C-alpha cells in the first residue's frame, strides 16, 4: 500500500529526497505518510532532554550510540523518511550508510514533543506508526505536554502492540533490545 495524504502522496520518495538534499541546513524536512513536513527547530529544553537521554544511554550501554537527526527510511516498504530526535544503534552503525538509512539495526527511536500545532499528529501518531511499520523495536516518546515518557514496544503488522506511560520522576525500564533504565527525576526541571 502506498502512503497517502488522502488519495495519493504529494510526491514520490525520490522527489522528496532530491528536495531534502538541496534544502539549507537550517531547515529539516521529513516525508511522513506521503506528506512533506517541516521539522521545527527545537528549543533549549528539547535539546537538553536529548542530551539527558544520550548521557543515560552512554553510561549504561557504552557499546551503543544515540544519533540525533539521522535520516531513516520508515513506514511500509520504506516509503517514508524521518529524522528522529534520537536513534539508538550499535556503535558506528550508520558509518557509510548515507543520508537515509534502513532501520534494520535501529534498537530504539526517541522523539521529544515540540510546542507546535502538529506535534499531536506527527509525534504521537504518524511517526509512531511509521516506526512500527519499519519494525523498530522500541519507540520512546518524551511527551512534554503530559510530563511523561511513553514507551511503545512489540511492533507487529504496522503497529506497536504495547504502550506504557510513566510520569516524570519514575524509573523507566526499556526492554530488550535496549535494556536500560532511565532515571527521569531530572525531567521534572523541564516540566511545562
pLDDT in tens, 57-73: 999 999 999 998 899 99
The answer, as to whether pTM is greater than 0.85, is no
Q: What is the pLDDT of residue 2?
A: 41
**Nine-digit cell string for 135:** 519494525
The tens digit of pLDDT for each residue in 7-40 reads 567 777 777 777 777 776 666 665 667 776 666 6
42-190: CATH topology: tt1808, chain A (3.90.1570)
Tell me, what's the pLDDT at 3?
A: 43
Q: What is the mean pLDDT of residues 100-124?
A: 83
Amino acid at each position: 500500500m502506498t502512503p497517502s495524504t488522502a488519495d495519493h502522496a504529494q510526491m514520490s520518495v525520490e522527489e522528496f529526497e532530491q528536495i531534502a538534499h538541496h534544502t539549507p541546513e537550517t531547515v529539516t524536512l521529513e516525508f511522513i505518510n506521503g506528506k512533506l513536513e517541516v521539522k521545527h527547530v527545537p528549543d533549549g529544553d528539547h535539546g537538553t532532554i536529548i542530551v539527558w537521554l544520550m548521557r543515560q544511554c552512554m553510561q549504561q550501554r557504552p557499546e551503543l550510540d544515540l544519533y540525533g537527526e539521522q535520516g531513516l527510511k520508515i513506514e511500509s516498504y520504506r516509503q517514508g523518511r524521518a529524522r528522529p530526535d534520537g536513534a539508538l544503534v550499535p556503535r558506528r552503525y550508520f558509518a557509510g550508510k548515507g543520508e537515509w538509512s534502513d532501520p534494520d539495526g535501529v534498537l530504539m527511536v526517541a522523539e521529544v514533543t515540540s510546542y507546535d500545532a502538529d506535534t499531536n499528529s506527527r509525534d504521537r501518531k504518524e511517526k509512531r506508526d511509521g516506526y512500527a511499520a519499519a519494525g523498530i523495536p522500541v519507540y520512546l516518546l518524551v511527551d512534554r505536554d503530559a510530563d511523561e515518557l511513553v514507551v511503545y514496544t512489540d511492533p507487529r503488522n504496522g503497529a506497536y502492540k504495547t504502550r506504557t506511560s510513566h510520569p516524570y520522576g519514575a524509573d523507566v525500564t526499556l526492554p530488550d533490545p535496549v535494556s536500560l533504565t532511565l532515571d527521569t527525576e531530572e525531567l521534572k526541571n523541564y516540566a511545562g
